[in-house]
Amino acid sequence: MEWQQLLTRKRLGKQHLEDPTFERTPYLKDYDRLVYSTPFRRLKDKTQVFPLSKNADVRTRLIHSLEVSCVGRSLGRMVGDQIIKRHGLEHFDVADFGDILSAACLAHDIGNPPFGHAGEDAIQNAFQSWYSKENLGGSLLNPLEKADLDNFEGNAQGFRILSRLGMLHRVGGMQLTCTTLATFTKYPRESFLSKTILKGYKGKSMQKYGFFQSEKDLFTEVAETVGLIRRHPKAAWWCRHPLTFLMEAADDICYSIVDLEDGFHMGYLPFVEVRDLLNAIAKIDLAEYDSSPEETIKRLRAKAINQLVSEIAQIFLDKESEILAGKFDQALLSLSRYADILSVIEEKTSHSVFHHPNVVKVKVAGYEVLGELLTEFLTAIFHPTKKGKLVTYILPTEWRPKSEESHYQKMLKVTDYISGLTDLQATLLFQQFRGISLGS
């Protein structure tokens, strides 16, 4: 892969390059478009770790996305300076790398449904159960379409929002630059790849998938425009854009460190334990600071993130040639000298935070909420009883399936609507379906 092509300013859905301006480069415009978009604003009421938390000190999905964007910008600027010098790139600035990563990081969770990863599982399970009970056979969906919905994925929904739903009236949706879209896509593959194609491949970019069949042509255009390496001629499967590794690292750094901080603020983790875990990375002399526990944790969190950012930037530069050749496919943070302590942090937060009864109870409720909503809407569309007809009127006009649309397109519209709800919107709608609430 070549940096000159990887950093294209071409926008998805536009044939010609726009004239760059100093005030607002194409990548900075990408960032601005995301900030002003409705799907991004809705992240303020979507679960990060603590569903519907009343504690203002812990992160929502919106705050998490902003923090990841800040880390991504720093990483981009740090590596951009060296890449420009190494490759003699003309007409590019250090700030361009920061802006690309800042925009991609800002959008990285934009496709997440209510209740976080539990929401993804709920949609998957509900669809599989509904499809099985309906005994619809193989005529409604082809195997690739069914794989999309059986394994509903927030990352693929995110690409669908950016490339189509964000601005329904025009080709390319939000019409972000192909560079930002490629950087955003952590898993540049379709949902189903046969074993004969995979041949046992286990790279990091294989863990999930990045686009639905409905957007396969759009991602193909993105991949070909920026020059991603295609992994197999008979499958929609590519190597990652190099900057994607930095976006992933920014996300990994943030949730590893701040989940620990949030666990402390919620009272699920003791101060001394959190302090010692963070200082194993921050490595500051605590005797020099006479602060409250809260201020100490804030200082350690900032220092720990700074340590990891500096290290990850260097790891990326050391692996650059392998990444450009498509031969590197693992998380940069796994190569950190702090990998062992990060594993301890992950285990600790998983046990004491993610699996805390207060967190789990709401996640379980999320399964019920999203499962019932998906089942109600799908049943209403495919079995239009008197109640079903009323249920379809609940869908906003743009999400109501049309008679000429395929079964797959109709099902996607339902998942578009449900995954786009906030935690609170989904909960209130569920209560109305159950007759618990009649409020507007």
What fold characterizes domain 115-145+356-440? eoxyguanosinetriphosphate triphosphohydrolase fold (1.10.3550)
Q: What would the two tokens of residue 351 be? A: 């046990």
HEC string for 249-303? HHHHHHHHHHHHHHHHHCCCCCHHHHHHHHHHHHCCCHHHCCCCHHHHHHHHHHH
Question: Whole-angstrom Cα distance, residue 434 to residue 205?
Answer: 40
Give pLDDT tens digits along the chain (440 positions).
Answer: 999 999 999 999 998 887 777 678 999 999 999 999 999 999 998 765 555 556 556 678 899 999 999 999 999 999 999 999 999 998 899 999 999 999 999 999 999 999 888 889 999 999 999 988 875 555 688 999 999 999 999 999 999 999 999 988 899 999 999 999 999 999 999 999 999 999 999 999 999 999 999 999 999 999 999 999 999 999 999 999 999 999 999 999 998 999 899 889 888 899 999 999 999 999 998 888 778 999 999 999 999 999 999 999 999 999 999 999 999 999 999 999 999 999 999 999 988 887 888 778 878 888 899 999 999 999 999 888 888 888 999 999 988 888 899 999 999 999 999 999 999 899 999 998 888 766 55
With beta carbons less than 8 A apart as the criterion, state whether 185 and 159 touch: yes
SS3 content of the chain, % helix, strand, coil (to 5): 65, 0, 35
pLDDT for residue 45: 86
CB atoms within 10 A of CB 6: 21
The CATH homologous superfamily to which domain 3-113+242-354 belongs is Hypothetical protein af1432 (1.10.3210.10)
Q: What would the two tokens of residue 122 be? A: 């709920």
Parse the chain into domains and list their residue ranges.
3-113+242-354, 115-145+356-440
Q: What would the two tokens of residue 44 be? A: 């303020």
Question: Whole-angstrom Cα distance, residue 161 to residue 154?
Answer: 10
Query: Among 237, 173, 161, which residue's Cα sits nearest to residue 199?
Result: 237
With beta carbons less than 8 A apart as the criterion, state whether 52 and 266 touch: no
Q: What would the two tokens of residue 362 be? A: 């709401």
β partners of residue 238: 230
User: pLDDT by residue (tens digit) across 131-157?
Assistant: 888 755 556 889 999 999 999 999 999
